[in-house]
Amino acid sequence: MNEIILKGIGAASGVAIGPAFLFGKEEFRISPHKISETSIALEIARFEDALIKTRHEILEIQKRIAEEMGTEHAEIFDAHLLVLEDRTLIEDVIVRIKKEKFCVEYIFSEVLKKYVSVFSRIEDEYLRERVSDINDVGKRILRNLLGEKKNIVVDVDAENLILVANDLAPSETASMYKKNIVAFVTDIGSRTSHTAIMAKSLEIPAVVGVEVATQKIINGDILIVDGKTGTVIINPEKETLDRYETAKLKINVQKERFVNLKELPAETKDNREVLIAANIELPEEIPSVIEHGARGIGLYRTEYFYMNRTDLPSEEEHYQAYRHVAQAVSPHHVVIRTLDLGGDKFLSQLHVPRDMHPFLGWRAIRFCLARPDIFKIQLRAILRASVHGQLKLMYPMISGIEELRQANNLLEECRNELRKEDIRFDDNLEVGAMIEVPSAAITADIIAKEADFFSIGTNDLIQYSLAVDRTNEKIAYLYEPAHPAVLKLIKNIIDAGHKSEIWVGICGEMSGDPELVLVLLGLGLDEFSMPPASVPLIKQLVRSVSYKDAKKIAEYALSLSTGKEVEEYSNQRLQELVPELLGENDASK
């Protein structure tokens, strides 16, 4: 039998090998039994009883998860409780029972199908993510109506299983904690889904959005799951299996070897020190930041505050979260990126229109300047939290000096408000600009005069510079981080920043790629910020080379004509200088 390779979205990095356990869709066969007029009240009562039982179940799960994994993870189930309290859904069921006179199981299953169908077709990210919550809660209600019980993941006895499912509800993912599941694969899902976020916290490899996983995989198939590249291999050939076994061993050895680096600085052989920081999306990622030896947080994304909820976060919510992160990583710094909604992130409660060209539309700083009522809530919270640690503030998608000035004017309004309210804040809070638009990269010398630091967002800078939508698989081959145009823009940003005596960091995907880091180090970057798991590898790389060599490599790379030539040259030099690192960052090699 030939091996089969499936591609999806890498949701949590790492490599896992083991037998597949197909966690199939739960199907309920419900007949449309007619009921009499006198039975309507009884059916409604049964429905209400099932709602109460389901609520108790969810609260019990929430309590157990809070005890085992922390309150942050338990809060995910607040969305499930909201579904149970959805009066529109409840009234829909009751009205249809009275009108159609069918048993409650049938009526509820039909209403559930309608809701799932409607929400699945909606493009809005917040509403689309609710499909999983609705499904999970709906199935629990149906089980309680039918008097059935389901064997959940935690009851599976075999060891080292790779769970394969169409989708996994947060409650199902949570049941993997400290159990026998070593990875999971799903047909649907995104990097921002509840399940993907929990997988990262569980530190098990996960690939979502495979689309055909449950069709191609059967129970007992041997699988390889590469959570970094989003690759799933079914019944691998011996050569492939050996390669991934070796890669997995290297990853484990690498982790053990890098434990000793945790407290050491990222300093080159000739004593140039750079800062290796981490990117985070949620406060609960902080233990991973500390465990992997990052010196602070170079990018704290704040969009998650606005997702998976029906209201807007308050100033106090923002403040408490920022305060917690600042204190947790002290004395190291935390760079908070202000709200970057738009592009591929849309939320219904903000009434953000879906643009024809969303990445070029009303997003990030443009949205914030147009909605100062929302923006100032976040700015005030950041200022308030700034007295509790080394906070820094960064505006996303600045395209020119005017936007920086407008944002700073709003920030000054917030400062004046807090002074009048006698609320303390750090008067010396550093305020930087995220450089990810070509116009900002080209005029970095102007922006640098009024910014305290730069952080280069390479993901967007690359797509804007090369006119390549990074989410479009048909032109993915044109997305070249090492393209000469990209490298020259990065050099211009760094040189402009240093000329104005401000530090320059990078927080895009390039920061975790050893071949590219070798060039970026030589260009003079001061800070690299990346996913926590990438920190030890990049720290080891920096400590294994001299800045003098890195500068020569960068200089030669800038003279090359194509991105492919740059990658090949950098890869060759990396193999010469640090051969033990080559390939360990990519298990598929």
Q: Which residues are catalytic?
A: 194, 507
* 3-state SS, residue 325: helix
Q: Across-strand partners of 529?
A: 277
Burial class of 393 by CB neighbour count within 10 A (0 to 12, 13 to 18, 19+): buried
* 3-state SS, residue 23: strand
What is the full DSSP assignment across 102-155?
Answer: B-HHHHHHHHHHHHHHHHHH---HHHHHHHHHHHHHHHHHHHHHHT-----GGG
The closest alpha carbon to 533, from 292, 274, 310, belongs to 292
Sheet holding 4-7, edge to edge: 4-7, 231-234, 222-226, 15-23, 161-165, 181-186, 206-208, 9-12
The sign one gets for the Cα dihedral 217, 221, 224, 226 is positive
Question: Is the distance from CB of 247 to CB of 15 less than 8 angstroms?
Answer: yes
- What's the helix, strand, coil split of the chain in %, to 5? 55, 15, 30
Question: Is the distance from CB of 500 to CB of 450 less than 8 angstroms?
Answer: no
Burial class of 94 by CB neighbour count within 10 A (0 to 12, 13 to 18, 19+): middle
Contacts of 91 (CB under 8 A, 6+ apart): none
Tell me the C-alpha to C-alpha distance, in Å, between residue 364 and each of 123, 315, 327, 346.
19, 19, 27, 11
Helix (H) or strand (E) holding 11: strand 9-12
Beta strand pairing status for 430-435 and 390-395? Answer: parallel
The sign one gets for the Cα dihedral 448, 450, 455, 459 is negative
The CA angle 152-160-278, to the nearest 5 degrees, is 95
Contacts of 240 (CB under 8 A, 6+ apart): 3, 224, 233
| Rounded distance between C-alpha atoms, residue 294 and residue 273, angstroms | 14
| Rounded distance between C-alpha atoms, residue 49 and residue 33, angstroms | 20
Residue with tokens 């569980």: 202
| Rounded distance between C-alpha atoms, residue 171 and residue 529, angstroms | 32
DSSP secondary-structure letter at 448? G
Region of 219 (left: φ > 0; alpha: ψ -120 to 50; beta: rest) is beta
| Rounded distance between C-alpha atoms, residue 3 and residue 244, angstroms | 14
Question: Is the distance from CB of 455 to CB of 298 less than 8 angstroms?
Answer: yes
The closest alpha carbon to 155, from 182, 176, 186, belongs to 176
Burial class of 341 by CB neighbour count within 10 A (0 to 12, 13 to 18, 19+): buried
Tell me the C-alpha to C-alpha distance, in Å, between residue 75 and each of 63, 66, 69, 193, 349.
10, 8, 11, 14, 20
